[in-house]
Amino acid sequence: MPKNMFEKIWDHHVVAEKPGQPAVIYIDLHLVHEVTSPQAFDGLRMSKREVRRPDLTIATVDHNVPTTNRDMPIADLISRAQVEALGHNVEEFGITYFDMNSPNQGIVHVIGPELGYTQPGKTIVCGDSHTSTHGAFGALAFGIGTSEVEHVLATQTLRQVKPKTMEIRINGKLAIGVTAKDIILAVIGKIGVGGATGHVVEYTGEAIRDLSMEGRMTVCNMSIEAGARAGMVAPDEKTIEYLRNRPKVPQGEDFEVAIGKWISFKSDPAATYDTLVQLEASELAPFVTWGTNPGMVVPVTENVPHPNSFDSQVDKEAAERALQYMDLEAGKAVQDINIDRVFIGSCTNSRIEDLRAASEVVKGRSVNEKVMAMVVPGSTAIKAQAELEGLDKIFVEAGFEWRDAGCSMCLGMNPDILGPGERCASTSNRNFEGRQGPGGRTHLMSPEMAAAAAIQGHIVDIRDWNFS
Partner 1 sequence: MQPYNNVTGKALPLERANVDTDQIIPAKYLKRIERTGFGAFLFDSWRKLDSGKLNPDFILNDPRYAEATIIITGPNFGSGSSREHAPWALEDYGFRTLIGSSFADIFKNNCFQNGMLPVQLTDEAVKHFMEQAKADPDYQISVDLERCLVTGADEYTAEFEIDAFRRDCLLRGLDEIGLTLEYADAISEYEVGHPIT
Residue 233 CA, chain-centre distance (Å), reads 14
> Which residues have C-beta within 8 Å of that of residue 181, sequence separation ≥ 6?
218, 287, 348, 349, 427, 444, 445, 446, 447
Q: Are strands 401-402 and 341-344 parallel, antiparallel or unpaired?
A: unpaired
**66 touches partner 1 (CB under 8 A):** no
Neighbouring CB atoms inside 10 A of 255's CB total 15
Alpha helices in 327-379 (DSSP H): 352-362
Rounded-to-10 torsion of CA 372, 459, 386, 391: -80
Site string for partner 1, 195-234 (x = CB under 8 A): --xx-------------------------xx-x-x-----
Length in residues, the chain? 468
Which of the stretches 7-15, 106-114, 212-220, 452-460 binds partner 1 when contact is defined by CB under 8 A? Answer: 7-15
**111 touches partner 1 (CB under 8 A):** no
Which of the stretches 127-135, 300-308, 332-340, 397-405 binds partner 1 when contact is defined by CB under 8 A? Answer: 127-135
State whether residue 96 is helix, strand or coil. strand
**307 touches partner 1 (CB under 8 A):** no
Q: Which is nearer to partner 1, 156 or 335 (CB)?
A: 156
Written as one letter, the residue type at 123 is T
**81 touches partner 1 (CB under 8 A):** yes
d(CA 351, CA 221): 13
Q: Which is nearer to partner 1, 86 or 398 (CB)?
A: 86
Q: Which is nearer to partner 1, 124 or 300 (CB)?
A: 124
Options 39, 212, 272, 385; binder of partner 1; rule CB under 8 A? 39
d(CA 277, CA 201): 10
Q: Which is nearer to partner 1, 258 or 328 (CB)?
A: 258
State whether residue 317 is helix, strand or coil. helix
Q: Are the beta carbons of 327 and 296 closer than 8 angstroms?
A: no
Q: Which is nearer to partner 1, 215 or 227 (CB)?
A: 227
> Which residues have C-beta within 8 Å of that of residue 194, sequence separation ≥ 6?
226, 227
Residues touching partner 1: how many (CB under 8 A)? 79
Site string for partner 1, 160-179 (x = CB under 8 A): -x-x----------------
Options 3, 96, 154, 389; binder of partner 1; rule CB under 8 A? 154
**33 touches partner 1 (CB under 8 A):** no
Q: State which H helix or E strand residue 238 sits in.
A: helix 237-243
**331 touches partner 1 (CB under 8 A):** no
**8 touches partner 1 (CB under 8 A):** no
Which of the stretches 81-89, 90-98, 133-141, 343-351 binds partner 1 when contact is defined by CB under 8 A? Answer: 81-89
**20 touches partner 1 (CB under 8 A):** yes
Q: Are the beta carbons of 462 and 446 closer than 8 angstroms?
A: yes
Which of the stretches 3-11, 90-98, 153-161, 364-372 binds partner 1 when contact is defined by CB under 8 A? Answer: 153-161
Written as one letter, the residue type at 79 is S
Q: How far is the CB of 413 from partner 1 (least distance, A)?
A: 5
